[in-house]
Structure 1
Amino acid sequence: MHIIALVRYPVFASLLLFSLIVLGIDGDLVSKLKGGCFFFTCDSPPSYPRLGVATAVLTFVSVVPLTIIDILRRGAFTSFIIVELGWFFFLWVLWLATFGDTAGAGCDSSLADGTNICSEVRAAEAFSFLAWILLFAYWVALFVFSTIAFSKGNRKIWITSARDADFSGGSGAIPGYQSSAIGPSSQQPYMTQQQQQQQNQFPPAVGAV
């Protein structure tokens, strides 16, 4: 089993755990920083906890169904490597923005009653960073291994699940195709087993008129 298939579900589980932590922390910060209310009008909280809540919720509502579908059904388009790369690229950009926005909030914020929220802000910042670096590392590894498999002749790698993909280039490879840096001259002609048997049974006559 390939390393991508081994680490895939642990990466998803860790990402969901980090998302749950960020959702709890930033949700609490939104409730604390919403300010005073007058009838139905309330002061808006800062942008960083709202972005953290949105990113965590979006991660949950996408990664959980993706994982369940991948476990229950093989060959679903949501499990295609090209779909996974596209969506996870969007998610790690969101987590990077969440981390940057939270880090720029500073550590001198306090509530009206004097309660300091520095520890919560720093915790949200730390787990946002962990979620981003985890997604980014997985995305880079999946992209690199898929590109290598494609260069070896596996033309179906992009529409294969990462769980079932053959990153060695064997499954879905073009018959007779051999990857080489020398050029097209290194590609050997493809011959079926039946053709090889016929050639061995009836060798070409040399010098026949």
Structure 2
Amino acid sequence: MGSFSWFRITVFSLSIPCSLIGLGLNAYSVSLTEPYFYFIFSALGVATAVLTILTIPIMLIVDFIRRGAFTSMIIFELSWLFTLAILSFATSAESVSTSNSYFPRGCVYANTDPTANKYCMELLMLGTFAFSNFIMFLSYTCILLVFSIIGSSRGNSVWTYSVKDATFFGQNNSWHVRQQVPLNQYSGAPPTGYTGTPVSQPQQLGTHNTHSGTPAQSPHMQPQQFQPVYSGQPQGISV
């Protein structure tokens, strides 16, 4: 298991407690406002945290106990983790926007209104943990995408493999040989170990005739024009 696999396990492991904390805070916020309304960041935060808590441990466990599962494929991890990163960023941005709307001066109500100050602190914590998941997921997907492109350019099939089985920086020798075959295909040199007898070239037409004593006409010479010879006798067929 390489260092990048350990980095993957670390990111997945840290995202689970962040999601658990975010789930608790968002659920508490929903319970306070549920009879009348609920904030968008609370509902979005609950949904994002539930998806993260349900899918990330499954991806880790399946990768350990089963090889070749679709949940461990790089192409699946890139798309799913990027989706979680976008949801986490939306949760963080919405909580910050709500905090600026209700508490424009910040959390400075500790002496005047402790309850309002507590809500302000909870909003800041929600945004912090959601943004932490966004940073971890986005960093992992960007690095994995770069590594996958490098591995694919070297002839390695990485998109349908897991991170622990993929080869990102090694050269695929078979792919390199296939690329070199067209360059050496018509070199004219016989292959190594060739033991056959060379075939002589067929004799060209128009070679020298040793019986007639007349030099043969070169195949590249133009034929001489035929000139009839008059013998004094009438030509044609007699009647």
Give the TM-score normalised by structure 2: 0.68
Aligned length, in residue pairs:
183
Pairing 1:159-198 to 2, within 5 Å after superposition: 159-170=160-171, 174-176=175-177, 187-189=179-181
Matches within 5 A, 1:134-153: 134-153=136-155
Report the counterpart of residue 157 of structure 1 in structure 2. Answer: 158
Deviation at 1:199, TM superposition (A): 4.3
Alpha-carbon contact 1:69-1:76 (below 8 Å) kept: yes
Q: Is the Cα–Cα contact under 8 Å of residues 18 and 133 in structure 2 kept in the other structure?
A: yes
**Mapped contact 1:2–1:167 kept (Cα < 8 A):** no
* RMSD (CA atoms): 2.7
CA distance in 1, matches of 2:121, 2:66: 43
Give the conservation status (yes or no) of the 8 Å contact 1:152–1:173.
Answer: no
In the TM superposition, what is the alpha-carbon distance from 1:171 to its structure 2 partner? 5.8
1:172 deviates by: 9.1
Where does 1:3-18 land on structure 2 (aligned, <5 Å)? 3-18=3-18
**Distance across 1 between alignment mates of 2:126 and 2:173:** 44
Measure the CA separation in 2 of the matches of 1:149 and 1:95: 29
In structure 2, distance between residues paired with 1:62 and 1:55: 11
Contact 2:151-2:167 at 8 Å conserved across structures: yes
Letter aligned with residue 86 of structure 1: S
Q: Could you say what secondary structure the match of 1:115 adopts?
A: helix
Give me the whole-angstrom Cα distance separating, in 2, the residues matched to 1:160 and 1:172.
19
Q: Is the Cα–Cα contact under 8 Å of residues 88 and 139 in structure 1 kept in the other structure?
A: yes
Higher relative contact order (CA 8 A, sep 6+): 1
- Residue in structure 2 matched with residue 82 of structure 1 by the alignment: 75
Q: Which moved more, 1:117-126 or 1:44-53?
A: 44-53
* Structure richer in helix, relative to its length: 1
1:44–1:152: structure 2 CA closer, same or farther, 3 Å change rule?
Answer: same
Pairwise CA distance, 1:130? 0.5
**Amino acid corresponding to residue 121 of structure 1 in structure 2:** L
Distance 1:85 1:131 in 2: 15
Q: Which runs of 5+ in 1 are unaligned?
A: 35-41, 178-186, 191-197
> Residue 95 of structure 1 aligns with which residue?
88
Alpha-carbon displacement from aligned partner over 1:99-143 (angstroms, at most 9, x marks no partner): 111110125469xx9612011100010111110010000000000
CA-to-aligned-CA distance 1:8-61 (integer Å, 9 cap, x gap): 111100111111111111111111233xxxxxxx21211111111110001111
1:201 to 193, 215, 234: 193
Percentage of matched positions with identical amino acids: 35
Deviation at 1:66, TM superposition (A): 1.3
